[in-house]
Amino acid sequence: MIDGALIKQFLELYGGSEEGIRIFQAPGRINLIGEHIDYNGGHVFPAALDMNTVVIARPNGKDEIRFAATDLPDRVCAKLDSLENYKGIKWGSYQCGVAYMLQREGYRLTGCDMLFHGTVPFGAGLSSSASIEVVTALCLAKLGGAKQLVMEDIAVLCQKAENEYVGMSCGIMDQFISAVGKKDHAIFLNCRTLEYEYVPLELGDYTIVITNTNAPHKLTDSQYNQRRSECERALAVINANGGAYQTLCEMGIAELESFRDCFQDEVLYRRARHCVTEEMRTILSLKYLSEGNLEMFGSLLKEANVSIRDDYEATGKELDAVFDIAEGIDGVIGSRMTGGGFGGCNISIVRKDKAEEFRQIMNEEYTKRIGYAPAFYQSGAGQGAAEVEKWR
């Protein structure tokens, strides 16, 4: 049920009545394993959260889209005939990018007023940006008259908006899980072909505790784009020396090792090694999780964190502190950073009866080491993007 205060805020902002109001939502995500390989042709294993971006919308009879958010003073008015002109705005470029891409792909747009409200924490690496993109696309397409949407296509469109309009070279994972996530399931997704399967997320006596380092995670600032460039250069080295690969994740570790002497830059080799070994871990994770072997699944999470810390160098002191502390807490069988890194969140698989103790120890030790406290979330695997049919 949508909080009546949100409807009230919408009406105070835009006037009028409740007539014509429609509400949509799309979730953030965690990635269980398979980090930084979505743009390298690998498999990923994300789950949608039950934390969402909600948009309240209503047609306005004008040739413009007006955006606002419940927690920001910014107001945006984007003209439908000049959507390409809003790329540099402080807030709203994600929404304008999605509107632009919908228009370019032939979707009909209608002028409307939109109020965004999010429970996905910003800057935490839980894909608040993807949830904004997907809910915007769903809302605008539906208000424009689209009847049957293929949500996989919506995900691809939103990725294009972020790549080409916002300038962030992200892979497909975040938008995909936000668009097609399924309650109580993770998705095992082949990022090259977009084939996927739902996998029940059954943890029994365990739960996933998300620890937010509270270190800001800003991907467009660019270490993320740098890592993607390094992977492209690593692939180019391999193919210039006899390889014939479309992506790094096509090869096994023995194949990669056969090209090791071709790398003059050790950093590029280590980036490639993370991608190749992470693909192996992700495929094994499907096996162990499907079998209910949580101990082995947890051990793969630990290996993944070491790889992304040492070979990919995408963690930082805050994420490293959380991982090190988690390793020493009773009841933890697996822990790793999740998301793009460089700040953001860690996920730890913790025995349910030890979860409160985990939070207490982590809070105390992390604050001691870093100088400020972390935040914690517990979320089940949520549902993908949808219109909220019953909100009154």
Q: Which residues contact 298 (CB under 8 A, 6 or more apart)?
A: 332, 333, 334, 335, 349
Whole-Å CA distances, 226 to 11, 53, 217, 272, 391: 44, 28, 15, 14, 43
Question: Looking at 174, 184, 205, 353, which residue is catalytic?
Answer: 174
Instruction: Provide the residue count of the chain.
Output: 392
Catalogue the E-assigned strands of the chain.
22-31, 43-44, 46-59, 64-69, 75-79, 112-118, 185-190, 196-200, 206-212, 332-338, 345-351, 375-378, 386-387
Cβ–Cβ contacts within 10 Å for residue 38, how many?
Answer: 24
Instruction: State how far Cα 138 lies from the chain centre.
Output: 17
Cβ–Cβ contacts within 10 Å for residue 127, how many?
Answer: 31
C-alpha 76/C-alpha 93 separation (Å) is 9
Q: Enumerate the H helices of 105-186 as residue ranges.
A: 128-143, 151-160, 173-180
C-alpha 384/C-alpha 386 separation (Å) is 7
Nearest to 13 by CA among 80, 70, 85, 53: 70
3 included as an active-site residue? no
- Active centre residues (catalytic): 174
